[in-house]
């Protein structure tokens, strides 16, 4: 005789995982960009019939880059949007089903995995590759949008080359800002480092490097409030010692404006099941794309707080597809 039965809520009937999805696929890739599209190319060539959802920004961060000169195979350079369109076409040529949609929920509690998208489509999958990228943090001033691709950048390694022998500014006071400023100092005539406080948050080693670099000028207690220029960035408007009796408006002439106040990995949807570091980057087993959930893999900037380059993202997308194929093969 059964004395106790498992509790079931009367408000919400218990659903079995099977049958709750509108469609089942072998490999589901969430996110586009170099990581997602490369994963799709490899998965499709392995006859895994991948379905790829592009996310909110098809092509990822690279679509905001006007010129890409550091990706091998493009001796004349190429624009970010053009490159991503080529990646997409190559993935589709091998049979990838590319769809527009944003993941809004994920259930990795059992198999198959279930992901819900913003049109309420629910897809079940035997393996999932997360390639949702990371979003650069911006100050929120209108000029950042106005001059996107015309002097405003969130990646010195990507775009610094275009500002050789010119004057630029870097916003931020942490290690990332210090690294970006010293990198640009090797290319540019002068680098202004716009720091909101009267100290740097960067490590002592990075602080020393910044302060010893002759063509870096740190603007202490300054905040950027606007940019100006007719055909691109020609200068920035700053407020010095905001909110104090010494407050004043300062203008500097620059050709490039680099944001270095961090990135936010697009991992929130998966955090209930997928382990992340304190900043939100998905943790992977070193040397692989494997997460803490067997059958779920991560590639690109969503799991890379260090490099954030198109070529490294593409490489990790390849890893994810191969890891997924081996997982499915048993």
Active-site residue set? 155, 158-159
Where in the chain does DSSP place strands (E)?
23-30, 51-53, 97-99, 103-107, 113-117, 122-130, 134-136, 152-153, 167-171, 190-194, 216-219, 222-228, 235-240, 248-253, 256-259, 263-265, 296-298
> Residue 295 in 3-state DSSP?
coil
d(CA 89, CA 93): 6
d(CA 187, CA 166): 8
Going by C-alpha positions, the residue among 69, 70, 44 that lies closest to residue 318 is 44
**DSSP states along 214-283:** TTEEEETTEEEEEEE-SSS--EEEEEESTTSTT-EEEEEE-SEEEE-S-EEES-GGGTTTS-B-TTSPBP
């Amino acid at each position: 005789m059964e004395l106790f039965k498992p509790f079931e809520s009367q408000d919400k009937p218990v659903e079995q995982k099977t049958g709750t999805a509108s469609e089942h696929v072998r490999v589901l890739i969430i996110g586009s960009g170099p990581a997602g599209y490369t994963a799709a190319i490899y998965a499709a060539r392995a006859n895994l019939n991948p379905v790829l959802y592009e996310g909110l920004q098809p092509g990822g961060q690279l679509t905001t880059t006007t010129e890409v000169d550091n990706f091998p195979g493009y001796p004349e350079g190429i624009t970010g949007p053009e490159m991503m369109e080529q990646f997409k076409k190559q993935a589709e040529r091998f049979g990838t089903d590319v769809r527009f949609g944003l993941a809004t929920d994920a259930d990795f509690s059992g198999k198959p995995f279930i992901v819900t998208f913003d049109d309420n489509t629910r897809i079940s999958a035997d393996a999932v590759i997360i390639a949702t990228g990371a979003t650069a943090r911006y100050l929120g001033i209108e000029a950042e949008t106005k001059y996107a691709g015309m002097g405003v950048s969130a990646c010195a390694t990507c775009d610094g080359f275009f500002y050789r022998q010119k004057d630029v500014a870097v916003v931020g006071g942490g290690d990332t800002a210090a690294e970006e400023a010293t990198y640009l100092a090797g290319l540019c005539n002068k680098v202004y480092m716009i720091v909101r406080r009267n100290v740097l948050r960067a490590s002592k080693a990075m602080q020393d490097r910044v302060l010893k670099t002759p063509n870096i000028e740190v603007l202490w207690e300054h905040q950027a409030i606007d940019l100006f220029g007719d055909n691109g960035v020609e200068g920035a408007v700053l407020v010095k010692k905001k909110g104090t009796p010494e407050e004043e408006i300062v203008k500097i002439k620059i050709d490039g404006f680099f944001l270095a106040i961090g990135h936010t990995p697009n991992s929130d949807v998966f955090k209930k099941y997928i382990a992340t570091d304190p900043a939100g980057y998905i943790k992977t087993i070193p040397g692989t794309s494997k997460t803490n959930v067997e059958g779920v893999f991560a590639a690109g900037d969503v799991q890379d707080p260090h490099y954030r380059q198109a070529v490294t993202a593409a490489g990790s997308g390849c890893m994810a597809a191969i890891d997924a194929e081996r997982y499915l093969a048993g």
